[in-house]
Amino acid sequence: MSEAATVRLGYVGLGNIGGPMATRLAAWPGGLTVFDLSDDALAKVTQAGAARSDSVAAVAEAADIIGICVVNDEQVRAVVADLLTTAKPGTIITLHSTIGPDTAADLAAVCAEGGVQLLDAPISGGAPGAEQGRLAIMVGGPREAYERVAKPLKLAGDMVVHAGEDVGAGTRMKLARNLLHFISFTATTEAARLAEAAGIDLTKLGRVVRHTDAITGGAGAIMLRDTTAPIDPDDFWHGVFTHVVNLGEKDLDLALALGNQLDVELPLGTIARANLASGLGIAPRADRKPPLSKGAQQ
């Protein structure tokens, strides 16, 4: 009998992301047992082949690897406490909720006292990624444990990454990823204000942005180095990122000038212009000082 047929899965929390994840995990040969407070959520996953449980503790009795996807740190702590009342030594718990990295590390220490291993495994891709089975899942914990959970998790995500050997590494990776995500959203609102003041149709601008990002890769396209240190002039990347800086500074200068002309404050644009070169590891050019946006001049 294959390992997949003998390892039993469990899942607690069947919301907008947990529900689709669990639905895909229901295809695991060893079976899946699930629990949620919502009968409707349970019904959707059991229709896909999962077994319904009446309690969190009962999931631990029936499963060897148990995923948790609930709302916050407090709920994660409560679910883990319930699981530990019946979990057998050797059980692995994976935390898919976005929580504090210290919470994951603390819970891992508590679980270890009973011979249970806990990994943090936050996810990126949201509800659409969960529905499509295209989540990125970032796992923090020992490599051996990662390899055990990676096989079933690949049913729910097309990118399963070992973020690091310590529990909490996955969450730290997720927080960095989401920092970029929501800063870019805020930058989008700034660009939209400039475009609106300039008489541009925002829906058409949105179409252009989505089209271009699909080609260039957006912000992730520059995440190619394994360090943020300054780039040596002899390094291959020095020429690449110098080109990026030259283009970026020119375009930011023009956008900031337009903002001044239209009396639109662009604080993020000003920060980007000041920090782009050094942030990419390229020494800023002394001959081109960044202009001040309207907000920065006050």
pLDDT at 198 over 90: yes
Whether 114 and 133 map to the same domain: the answer is: yes
Mean pLDDT, range 285-294, rounded to an integer = 60
Whether 185 and 48 map to the same domain: the answer is: no
User: Measured on CA atoms in the order 92, 71, 166, 180, is the torsion positive or negative?
Assistant: positive
CB 131 within 8 A of CB 20: yes
Mean pLDDT, range 25-29, rounded to an integer = 97
Mean pLDDT, range 110-118, rounded to an integer = 97
Whether 187 and 284 map to the same domain: the answer is: yes
Choosing from 122, 147, 166, the residue where a domain stops is 166
Find the CATH number of the domain harbouring 250: 1.10.1040.10
pLDDT at 215 over 90: yes
The amino acid present at 208, given as its one-letter code, is: V
Residue range 259-280, pLDDT digits in tens: 999 999 999 999 999 999 999 9
Whether 141 and 235 map to the same domain: the answer is: no
Whether 145 and 25 map to the same domain: the answer is: yes
Whether 159 and 38 map to the same domain: the answer is: yes
Alpha helices in 164-235 (DSSP H): 169-197, 202-216
Whether 162 and 180 map to the same domain: the answer is: no
Q: What is the pTM of this model?
A: 0.88
Q: Where does the pLDDT of residue 206 fall: very low under 50, low under 70, confident under 90, or very high at 90 and above?
A: very high
Can 289 be counted among the known catalytic residues? no
Determine the structural domain holding residue 141 and report its residue range.
3-166
What is the number of structural domains in the chain? 2
Query: Which pLDDT belongs to residue 287?
Result: 60
Whether 198 and 269 map to the same domain: the answer is: yes
Q: Where does the pLDDT of residue 283 fall: very low under 50, low under 70, confident under 90, or very high at 90 and above?
A: confident
Structure tokens of 1?
């009998």
Whether 135 and 251 map to the same domain: the answer is: no
pLDDT at 298 over 50: no
- Share the mean pLDDT of the chain: 93
Tokens 């659409």 appear where? 128
Whether 135 and 211 map to the same domain: the answer is: no
Catalytic residue among 44, 151, 174, 289: 174
Mean pLDDT, range 25-50, rounded to an integer = 96
- According to DSSP, the β-strands at 123-124 and 136-140 are antiparallel
Whether 213 and 263 map to the same domain: the answer is: yes
